[in-house]
Chains A and B, each alone.
Chain A
Amino acid sequence: MGLDAGADDYVAKPFNLQELLARIRALLRRGKPSLPPLLEWRSLKLDPSICEVTCNDQLVRLTPKEYALLELLLRNPHRIFNTSALIDQIWSFEELPTEDTIRSHVKGLRQKLKAAGVSDDPIETVYGIGYRLRAKRDNSQGTKARRSKTSKQSGMETGTETRVETVESQADELLKIWEQIKETVEQRVVLLEQSVGSLHQDQLSEELRQQAEQEAHRLAGSLGMFGADEGSRVAQEIELLFEVASSLNLKQKQHLTQLVVQLRQELQSMDQGQLLETPIPEELNDQRPCLLVVSLNSLLAEQIAAEAPRWGMRSQSTANPVTARAQISKQRPEIVLLDIAAANALENYWMLLAELSADTPPVPVVVLTEQESLIDRVKVVRLGGRGVLRQPVTPTQILESVNQVLQHTQPTQAMVMVVDDDQQVLTALQRLLIPWGLHVSVLDDPLRFLDTLEATHPDLLILDVEMPEINGIELCQVVRNDPRWSGLPILFLTAHSDARTMHRVFAVGADDYVCKPIVGPELVTRIFNRLERSRLLKSMAEVDALTGVANRHHSTHDLTEFLLWCRHCHQPFCFALLEVASLKQINQQYGHAAGDAVLARLGELLRQTFRSEDAIGRWGGGEFVVGMAGMSKAEGIQRLAVLQNTLHQFEFKAENGLLFQVTLQAGVVEYPQDGADLQALYCAASTVLR
């Protein structure tokens, strides 16, 4: 179908010129297309924008059903789909496949993927339940432990995206190399077996002896790389024995035979994948995010565990960093609460904090301290802590901030709002869309439309054209006339695809439409197309292009949210106003390109220095703001001093070759002492700056 193949829209012939023009306007409104994210599983890549599947850059040809099946699994990595769920998702209402049909499609898909060289079968059969995507190897305990060790040993930054990805796929790559050399290894062991046979018959030629010694040497040097340490050790012993093969007594010869047999066994167990890391089974049922509480205060841990389900989390607890490490290696939590209030030796806690932040991906950590603690918050942040809470706080407040950090770190899922007076359609859409990782809010009463829109803040709106009281066309007009919602993608559901209806729909600002009865895959494809485009537009609207930090509008939103949170949890809030000194003179003296270079560099430094729990924004020419939740003024000044120093040491080069340096001035204030709201804090900071 044209849309799946990457077309943006279609017009049925014979077409109506008005309709065509309206559609073109709708397409133009969307702005530049972007590349939607690739879905990946090891060497397998699926590009939803062009519906293409590749393995090691080789195209894999799939039928539409096989493709839909694979995309569904890739988009829902943890979910198990039983056959009826698959039928709902992938087959349209008219087709009525049996379980056998599904099985044969799964089989067909598996065969094609295997033929394309995908290592392991990405589709895991969960016996008696259904199918799901096989967990990636990075869930295995062995890999993680090794990975964090390596990153420390080699002193490498694990922060950069590309490196993290390559490390993740390394186990797979290693497996591939093993696949390639398996044959050779096999031949080497066969040669050893032959040589041992000849030796027992006293017929071992010098040539064969040398060869056997060499092959054993090679095996010794190589097997350990693939995890077979014992194999390497055995091979080394074999090598030494072959070196002196002519002078071996009977007992030594027998020992050599045993070693070769043992080597063969090692090889067999490697072949069955026993020595390469085996993924540990993960908990199937509970997919709620897991909070690990590291605290000596068992009462607090209990209280948190009791309340966590209300926040959609589950909680585990452990007493100290040492036991925490064991716990984490068993099951990786989504977030950690590190209670250092009653702890005396902090070094272990800092180590754990640094380890968790260096993990890939980092595990966010919230640190809980005593009321009058002299804990260096700046140190906590530098080690990667996402937040500091000072006692006294209630378990509810703790969970509230834990939840907030979690929201910031987890990829946000798109919210789709559906308005239709037919309850059956709403239920069908919910069942259809939720497995694709979309949040779905449904409304059957168009009169409550505006309230629901405000409350749910959807990323995409689906409207039924025909509804009593207010119809979809009118709702669409309401949305398009409100500047806050003008960019919201709108998709229409309609039973009538006549030219007049189509024209009305596009004329009021719709982005797309889907005909009833709804065909699942088509609707899903259209929804994802819309979402991916509007996400790009949104990021263009929220981020300052030159510096890469949020613009004033967007950062104000973040700052206000942080401020509210600090007020609620009685935490300090540090607000800083930053200004590049005499930017105007720099522009005049060295040119605007040089001025822009300064701003871009500053933006880069700001993004490096401040994390997701801080809010940064560019508010005007050379004016930037930083909001640090949970930080005092003194702590904020300390963090900014590093930034100011780094920027000052940087030498900028003007077009005329002149070198110059810049100074960053900062006005730092604290809530609530210096101001009760954002505007007051801004004014106070401006006064400090002047």
Chain B
Amino acid sequence: MTKHILIIDDEFDIRAVAQLTLKAVGGWDVSLAASGAEGLTKAAAEQPDVILLDVMMPDMDGIETFRALQANSSTQAIPVILMTAKVQAAEQRQFAELGIAGVIAKPFKAMKLPGQIAKTLGWDES
């Protein structure tokens, strides 16, 4: 089964590069959302296999978006991977306490991203 992944990031280039590499290298279906609010709607409607969520966004940031996803029973079970350029240990711990599936450091290497996601979620080498 083809994996479906939702990318929520306010930056055009992050969305574009992530979409490109996940489609081309990972062979996954990719949906995009440019804000937390749009992401919530799409997550509920499309039920992706995983959500890639940027931490720093205007209006609704990644942490708020994640809490909203958790609060909604239809999106509660979808694993969320946070993307952040700040990966200090303290923040890492704070993220982990939220109950996310993993953290990916920005800037990610385009070609490595699909592998990182697969590894985080324990998707096997099939």
Instruction: State the majority secondary structure of interface residues on B.
Output: helix
Contact between B16 and A180 (Cβ–Cβ < 8 Å)?
A: yes
B30 shortest CB reach to chain A, Å: 13
With A154-B114, A156-B26 in contact, is A222–B21 under 8 Å at CB?
Answer: no
With A154-B25, A155-B118, A223-B107 in contact, is A170–B20 under 8 Å at CB?
Answer: yes
Contact between A155 and B110 (Cβ–Cβ < 8 Å)?
A: no
Q: How many residues of B contact A (CB 8 A)?
A: 30
With A154-B26, A166-B23 in contact, is A222–B125 under 8 Å at CB?
Answer: no
Which single member of A156, A177, A180, A223 contacts B25 (CB below 8 Å)? A156
With A150-B112, A181-B13, A220-B85 in contact, is A156–B27 under 8 Å at CB?
Answer: yes
Chain A residues, CB < 8 A from B25? 150-151, 154, 156, 163, 166-167, 170
Contact between B124 and A225 (Cβ–Cβ < 8 Å)?
A: no
Contact between B124 and A177 (Cβ–Cβ < 8 Å)?
A: no
Contact between A217 and B112 (Cβ–Cβ < 8 Å)?
A: no
B96 within 8 Å of A by Cβ? no
Which single member of A151, A221, A229 contacts B85 (CB below 8 Å)? A221
Contact between B13 and A225 (Cβ–Cβ < 8 Å)?
A: yes
B40 within 8 Å of A by Cβ? no
With A221-B11, A222-B13, A222-B107 in contact, is A153–B85 under 8 Å at CB?
Answer: no
Contact with A along B83-126 (1 / 0, CB 8 A): 10100000000000000000000111111101100110000111
Contact between B14 and A225 (Cβ–Cβ < 8 Å)?
A: yes
> Which residues of chain B from 1 to 39 have any CB-CB distance to chain A below 8 Å in the complex?
11-14, 16-17, 20-21, 23-27
Inter-chain CB contacts under 8 Å: number: 95
> Which residues of chain A from 210 to 249 have any CB-CB distance to chain B below 8 Å in the complex?
214, 217-218, 220-226, 229, 232, 236, 239
B56 within 8 Å of A by Cβ? yes
Nearest A-chain residue to B108, judged by Cβ: A225
* Assembly CA distance A572 to B82 (angstroms): 57
* Assembly CA distance A184 to B11 (angstroms): 11
* Assembly CA distance A163 to B28 (angstroms): 11
Contact between B85 and A167 (Cβ–Cβ < 8 Å)?
A: no
Chain A residues, CB < 8 A from B119? 153
* Assembly CA distance A223 to B17 (angstroms): 11
Contact between B118 and A154 (Cβ–Cβ < 8 Å)?
A: yes
A173 within 8 Å of B by Cβ? yes
Q: How many residues of A contact B (CB 8 A)?
A: 35
Contact between A225 and B24 (Cβ–Cβ < 8 Å)?
A: no
* Assembly CA distance A170 to B25 (angstroms): 9
Nearest A-chain residue to B124, judged by Cβ: A155
A266 shortest CB reach to chain B, Å: 13
* Assembly CA distance A163 to B114 (angstroms): 14
Chain A residues, CB < 8 A from B17? 174, 177, 225-226
* Assembly CA distance A217 to B27 (angstroms): 30
Chain B residues, CB < 8 A from A181? 12-13, 16
22 contacts between A and B (CB under 8 A): A147-B111, A150-B112, A150-B114, A154-B26, A154-B114, A155-B125, A156-B25, A173-B20, A173-B24, A177-B13, A177-B17, A177-B20, A180-B12, A181-B13, A217-B85, A221-B14, A221-B83, A221-B106, A224-B108, A225-B14, A225-B107, A226-B17
B residues at A contact (CB < 8 Å): 11-14, 16-17, 20-21, 23-27, 56, 83, 85, 106-112, 114-115, 118-119, 124-126
Known interface pairs A155-B118, A156-B26, A170-B110; 14 further A-B residue pairs with C-beta atoms within 8 A, sorted by A's residue number:
A146-B111, A149-B111, A150-B112, A154-B114, A156-B27, A163-B24, A167-B25, A169-B24, A170-B20, A180-B16, A221-B14, A222-B11, A224-B107, A225-B13
Nearest 7 pairs of A and B residues by beta carbon:
A224-B107, A155-B125, A153-B115, A221-B106, A154-B115, A166-B24, A221-B85
